[in-house]
Amino acid sequence: MTPVPVTTTHVPSDLDDTLVVACRAAGFPHRDRQLLRNVANAVYLLPEVPIVARVGHGPGVVARSRRAIEVARWLAGRGFPATAPVEPPTGLSQPLRFTKRGQSLAVTFWRYYPQDPAEPLDPGQLAAVAHDLHALPDVPPFPLPAYSPLVAVRRALADPASADALPRADRTWLSQRVSQACAEFQRMESTLGFGLLHGDMYLGNLLHGDPGVVLADWDTVCVGPREIDLAPTYTAVRFGLAPTAVDRFAEAYGHDLRGWAGYPTVRAIRELSTLDTLIRAAPTRPASADELRHRVGTLRCGDTVTLWHPQ
């Protein structure tokens, strides 16, 4: 199956150069590398192997990448369908760590799972995986961070480079709304309890495996209230997911958030979390700036019907 890039986003040369050095050190061919996407990580296909290489960047990237590798290995030992790391032939430990222009970078290698766009996955499948993850009887025997809401959004808003991302009134409102949502989270009472969380459990991180499905992207793994993992599917109606699909998700998981007092809080947190990459990209990408203003405008006026546009 021929891979179809998810985006054609330009990748900074520092990331591409780092990938080349990492592949040489790890013993993987890189000449025909293909960029699949570049959002929180630059994700490449190395088709000669074939495997996927992820070049992570940003604060805490080394610890985050190490946790992803460790958790994926631990889950595999319990038969849970997590994406599988691929160990470098040269025996190097993952992640491979680099520094470019004062920025930490981390490279990890993963099994490639070919996807067929003609065979979309269903929220019911995601719910079954979420249920199995939350039903694990233990957590990994190494430290995991506690879930903390909207860290990336708060960091983006505090970055001077994002000062022009929004008009001042919108920026002030957004900062206050983020603080309010974080305060609401502290008062929230979970009905599903606390445990291991994927941290970004939306349908885009579910892949066709062999056999069945696998859950990808463990960068945000943590411990916290299990409702956090369910919220992305409910929020996906913002991007056109049908309410009947949310119904299937709730039925397959065995719990519906919509009748819970904390639902408005976890939904707001998930909606606000989608603004992170837009805030960072807005100063240099007009399309991101337009979408950021669109989303903030709907949030400010309480509009829950107008659709948002994937970026």
pLDDT per position as a tens digit, 204-246 = 999 999 889 999 999 999 999 999 999 999 999 999 999 999 9
* DSSP codes of every residue in 33-97: -EEEEESSEEEEEETTTTEEEEEEESTTHHHHHHHHHHHHHHHHTTT--BPPB---TT-PPSSEE
Percent of the chain with pLDDT over 70: 96
Q: How far apart are CA 136 and CA 139, in angstroms?
A: 7
Q: Is 218:198 a contact under the CB 8 Å cutoff? A: yes
Q: What average pLDDT does range 103-127 have in this prediction?
A: 95
Q: What is the CATH number that goes with domain 123-300?
A: 3.90.1200.10
Examine residue 264 and say whether the peptide bond preceding it is cis (omega within 30 degrees of 0).
no
Task: Report whether pLDDT(119) > 50.
Answer: yes
- Look at residue 6 and tell me whether its pLDDT is greater than 80: no
Beta strands (DSSP E) in the chain are: 34-38, 41-46, 51-57, 96-100, 103-111, 194-197, 206-208, 213-215, 222-225
Burial class (CB in 10 A: 0-12, 13-18, 19+), 119: exposed
Averaged pLDDT of the chain: 94
Confidence of residue 2 (pLDDT cuts 50, 70, 90): very low
The 10s digit of each residue's pLDDT in 187-204 is: 999 999 999 999 999 999
Asked if pLDDT for residue 103 goes beyond 90, the answer is no
pLDDT at 12: 57
Give 242-264 pLDDT, tens digit per residue: 999 999 999 999 999 999 999 99
pLDDT, greater one: 251 or 101 = 251
Supply angle C-alpha 243, 244, 245, rounded to 5: 90
What does the pLDDT read at residue 14?
83
Where are the domain boundaries for CATH 3.90.1200.10 in the chain?
123-300
pLDDT tens sequence across 45-70: 999 999 999 999 888 999 999 999 99
CATH 3.30.200 positions along the chain are 13-111
Assigned architecture for domain 13-111 = 2-Layer Sandwich (3.30)
**pLDDT average, residue stretch 259-285:** 96
pLDDT of residue 4: 35
β-strand partners of 42: 38, 55
In which band, very low, low, confident or very high, does the pLDDT at 131 lie, cut at 50, 70 and 90?
Answer: very high
